[in-house]
């Protein structure tokens, strides 16, 4: 497992803040940025992309993941999420489920407040008793 050094985390915060600037959130005004680190060491960012048809909105965590998957990545070391909220932001349920297709349940999820103060959780903590591809066997 990749070590989560302070240097790595601060780099992820910077990248996710830049991604947050790209958020397309005309309806909620709730801008979110995310950065996922692949086991290769490469980092991929994402922002939320809203739609007039609300059900078509996509979160920052999933755009970051899909960005990575489109580049051929299939295994991941960490994900960081940041929004404009005073409180730390957690991935929503749909993102947790989507991430679980590719990440291990002990992968760290770094949840930040708007300034980058963070708490680290494992996916197992965020989504216990989950349904994954292991259940499809």
Residues 105, 67: Cα–Cα separation, whole Å: 21
| Catalytic pick among 6, 7, 21, 61 | 61
Q: Which residue is nearest to Zn ion (CB)?
A: 59
- Report how many residues bind Zn ion under the rule CB under 5 A: 3
Closest distance of CB 85 from Zn ion, Å: 14
Which range of residues in 6-14, 16-24, 86-94, 106-114 is near Zn ion by CB under 5 A? 86-94
Closer to Zn ion at the Cβ: 10 or 12? 12
Length of the chain: 137
For residues 26-53, one letter each, b for 16 or more C-beta atoms within 10 angstroms of the residue's C-beta and e for the rest, the string is eeeeebbbbbbbbeeeebbbbbbbbeee
Q: Would you say 2 or 69 has its CB closer to Zn ion?
A: 69
Options 66, 88, 92, 97; binder of Zn ion; rule CB under 5 A: 92
**86 catalytic, yes or no?**
no
95 belongs to the binding site for Zn ion (CB under 5 A): yes
Show contacts with Zn ion in window 43-82 (CB under 5 A): 59
**Minimum Å distance from CB 78 to Zn ion?**
17
| Residues found near Zn ion in the complex (CB under 5 A) | 59, 92, 95
Catalytic residues: 61
């Amino acid at each position: 497992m990749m070590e989560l050094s302070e240097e790595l985390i601060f780099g992820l915060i910077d990248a996710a803040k830049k991604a947050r600037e790209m958020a397309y959130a005309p309806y909620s005004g709730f801008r979110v940025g995310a950065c996922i680190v692949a086991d290769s060491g490469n980092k991929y960012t994402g922002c939320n992309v809203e739609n007039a048809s609300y059900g078509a909105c996509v979160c920052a965590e999933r755009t970051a993941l899909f960005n990575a998957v489109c580049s051929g990545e299939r295994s991941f070391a960490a994900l960081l999420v940041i929004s404009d909220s005073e409180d730390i932001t957690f991935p929503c349920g749909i993102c947790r489920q989507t991430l679980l297709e590719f990440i291990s349940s002990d992968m760290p999820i770094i949840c930040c407040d708007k300034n980058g103060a963070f708490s680290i959780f494992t996916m197992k903590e965020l989504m216990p008793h989950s349904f994954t591809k292991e259940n499809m066997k």
